[in-house]
Amino acid sequence: MNEIESLKKRIVDLTSLIEVSSIISSTLDLEELMNLVMEKAQTVMNAEASSVMLINEETGMLECQIALGSVQEKVKDTIQLELGQGIAGWVAQQGKAVIVPDVDNDTRFYSNIDHSTGFKTRSILAAPLKVKDRVIGVAEVINRRDSQPFSEDDLAIFITFCRQVALAIENARMHRFMLDQQRIQQQLESAHTIQQSFMPQSFPQAKDDNFLLHARNIPATAVGGDLFDFIEIDSNRLGMVIGDVSGKGIPAALYMARLISDLRYYSHIHERPMDLIRMMNSVLFERGRQGMFVTLIYFLLDRQSGELKITNGGHLPPLWFQHATKTCHVVNSSSGIPLGILPQIELSEQVIQLRSGDQLLLYTDGIIEAKNVRGKMFSLERLEDIFNQDWDHPQHLIEGIVKQIKKFSRNVSQHDDITLMAIKWQ
Amino acid sequence: MEIAVDKRQNCAILKIKGDVDLYSSPQARSQIIALVNNKQFNLLVDFTDVTYMDSSGVATLVEALQLTNKNKGKLRLYKLRQAIRDVFELSRLDKVFDIYEDEQSALHGI
């Protein structure tokens, strides 16, 4: 090749590289992009066939993603190589490009592919696809049309091609990853909104202003396993419930969704708290999967008298502020075990009488187990201290507790769902 | 979290080290299920080195209890440190699980 021809070829090569750059910036569709680039590579290298194999990160195998040439359908999606197997496997393992002028004289050559496709490979130019120092795959061009072996010039231009291809593959993968993340995030946001709608957005009002109610749920992740509900049994009786499903995230949220629906249904069939909780235990035990359970406490309020009937299934005991004595104490009733664990459980029903100015506070373990930067827990004692301040409205009490927890756990991510419910008898 | 499994008499003893939480409990679960699938229905869990257990960890124990009960076996826990014992007592889980002081008393009568 004289000097002018050599320079002309160089111009064609460089023009192709510029064209490859514009292809790469034109699409984020990985398959389309690889096809376009390899078509270009094949033309420039004057080759009969080409392929791109990528390393499957789960299996560690090289898998053929793109194959161009007369037997492309037989190769694509069917060929798999171990690292170190064949020329491509060697390139992937060593991270080095290679010219194989005659495959019959190279022991690394894996002839099974030719046997299964009927294609005759004579020479190969193969280069690793590298992102920084990590090999993500191998690109090959096969058999120069002029039957000459690939040259060092071909190698140099092909390595530059491969650098751009690797970058483009990584960009397309990042783009796909970000789209997936966005989709998951959108789904979680929808799930959060839907789950919050299962719990009351407004709270029952007393007809003659004899009580005030408030509640709040703050999941640690988009969705959680804590729950609260108010159920109007009839004009004089109000059911109130707070619970905590084992585990976190989506499994706990789905369990919680079904639980709320069952509670609303069965609370009208089994009006006594003890009967309702026993029924819920049977339902949850029958349906139990992977040991999931719930701690649940149910109150039936007489809206006229302030009498509360309580049955507890393993939930943290409520706190009762008695206005007359200005004291706060734990309502340590004889609780049953959490629900959904054993087929039969022992339960009891406790009755307490709210008097003017009394408040009752229900909470989940995310409150008392909230941690500060030193790993210390918020504790029941701290909660009692806040509760003991004779709050004028349950909403102010709950906002006050949430504020104190946020202050206590500053710079620590919330590790468990938080739910609070309070009633004040006027 | 790490789990070592010892065989003693007709029991498997699971010695758990570290936190048993949302992230580590699937590992504990698969080891327990593998033991039950191998017809090992008497399980003892040594809590000496369990530093923390959340409700996902408890759910794993609940599943182990349900599996052993179903196969007429026993699940017994021993050497729970005070913080974990408090969590169990507060949720009445001490009434769900058979809890023992040490290995010797846990092995007794199996």
ipTM of the complex: 0.92
CA B49/CA B81 separation, integer angstroms: 9
Of the candidates B55, B64, B96, which has its C-beta nearest A337's C-beta?
A: B96
> Which pLDDT belongs to residue A248?
87
Burial label for A216, CB within 10 Å (0-12, 13-18, 19+), is middle
> Which pLDDT belongs to residue A319?
96
* Interchain proximity A341–B90, CB inside 8 Å: no
CB atoms within 10 A of CB A334: 11
In chain B, residues with a C-beta closer than 8 Å to the C-beta of A291 are: 58-66
In chain B, residues with a C-beta closer than 8 Å to the C-beta of A248 are: 22, 56
Domains and CATH numbers, chain A: 3-173 (3.30.450.40), 189-425 (3.60.40.10)
CATH ID of B2-105, from 3.40.50.2000, 3.40.50.720, 1.10.1040.50, 3.30.750.24 = 3.30.750.24
CA A372/CA A220 separation, integer angstroms: 15
Which neighbouring-strand residues pair with B99? B77
When pLDDT is cut at 50, 70 and 90, the band that residue A1 belongs to is low
CA A75/CA A115 separation, integer angstroms: 12
Helix pair A394-408, A380-387: axis angle to 10 deg? 140
pLDDT in tens, A55-83: 998 999 999 888 888 777 766 667 789 99
Q: Give B 14-53 residues with CB within 8 A of chain A.
A: 22, 29
> Which pLDDT belongs to residue A140?
94
pLDDT in tens, A249-282: 889 999 999 999 999 999 999 999 999 999 999 9
> Which pLDDT belongs to residue A168?
84
* Interchain proximity B91–A295, CB inside 8 Å: yes
- Closest alpha carbon within chain A to B54: A247
Does B76 have pLDDT greater than 80? yes
Using an 8 Å Cβ cutoff, are B66 and B44 in contact?
A: no
CA B106/CA B69 separation, integer angstroms: 16
Listing DSSP states for A322-373 in one string gives ETTTTEEEE-----BPPBTSSSS-----EEEE--TT-EEEEE-HHHHT-B-T
Total length of chain B: 110
CA A356/CA A359 separation, integer angstroms: 9
Higher per-residue confidence, A156 vs A395 = A395
Does A331 have pLDDT greater than 80? yes
| Beta strands B74-78 and B98-100, pairing class | parallel
Q: Which percentage of chain B shows pLDDT scores above 90? A: 81
**Mean of the pLDDT values across residues A197-208?**
90
Delimit the domains of chain B by residue range. 2-105
Q: Find all residues with CB under 8 Å of A272, minimum gap 6, and list them.
A: A300, A309, A349
Residue type, B91: S
* Interchain proximity B56–A341, CB inside 8 Å: no
Is the minimum CB–CB distance between B64 and chain A shorter than 8 Å? yes
**Mean of the pLDDT values across residues B28-43?**
94
- CA A357: distance to chain centroid? 45
- Closest alpha carbon within chain A to B62: A291
Average pLDDT, chain A: 90
Average pLDDT, chain B: 93
When pLDDT is cut at 50, 70 and 90, the band that residue A5 belongs to is confident
The token pair at A310 is: 């309580």
When pLDDT is cut at 50, 70 and 90, the band that residue A3 belongs to is confident
In chain A, residues with a C-beta closer than 8 Å to the C-beta of B96 are: 337-338, 341-342
* Interchain proximity B62–A341, CB inside 8 Å: yes
Q: Where are the alpha helices (DSSP H) in A49-151?
A: 72-75, 86-94, 112-117
CA within 13 Å, CB half, A269: 10
- Interior/surface letters B28-59, b for 16+ CB within 10 angstroms, e for the rest: bbebbeebbeeebbbbbbbbeebeebbbbbbb
> Which pLDDT belongs to residue B110?
83
Listing DSSP states for A275-288 in one string gives HHHHHHHHHHHHH-
In chain A, residues with a C-beta closer than 8 Å to the C-beta of B62 are: 246, 291-293, 341
DSSP state of A82: -
| Beta strands A124-131 and A98-100, pairing class | antiparallel
Higher per-residue confidence, B73 vs B90 = B73
pLDDT in tens, A24-45: 777 778 788 888 888 888 888 8
> Which pLDDT belongs to residue A370?
94
Of the candidates B55, B91, B96, which has its C-beta nearest A247's C-beta?
A: B55
**Mean of the pLDDT values across residues B90-96?**
90
Q: Which stretches of chain A sit within 8 Å of chain B by CB?
A: 244, 246-249, 288, 290-293, 295, 314-316, 335-338, 341-342, 416
Which residue, B71, B85, B13, is CA-closest to B46?
B13
Of the candidates A248, A295, A314, which has its C-beta nearest B22's C-beta?
A: A248
> Which pLDDT belongs to residue A225?
93
The token pair at B66 is: 């349900």
Range scoring the smallest mean pLDDT among A282-286, A305-309, A413-417: A413-417
Burial label for B23, CB within 10 Å (0-12, 13-18, 19+), is exposed
Candidates B25, B36, B62, partner chain A, best to mutate (most A CBs within 10 A): B62
CA B107/CA B110 separation, integer angstroms: 6
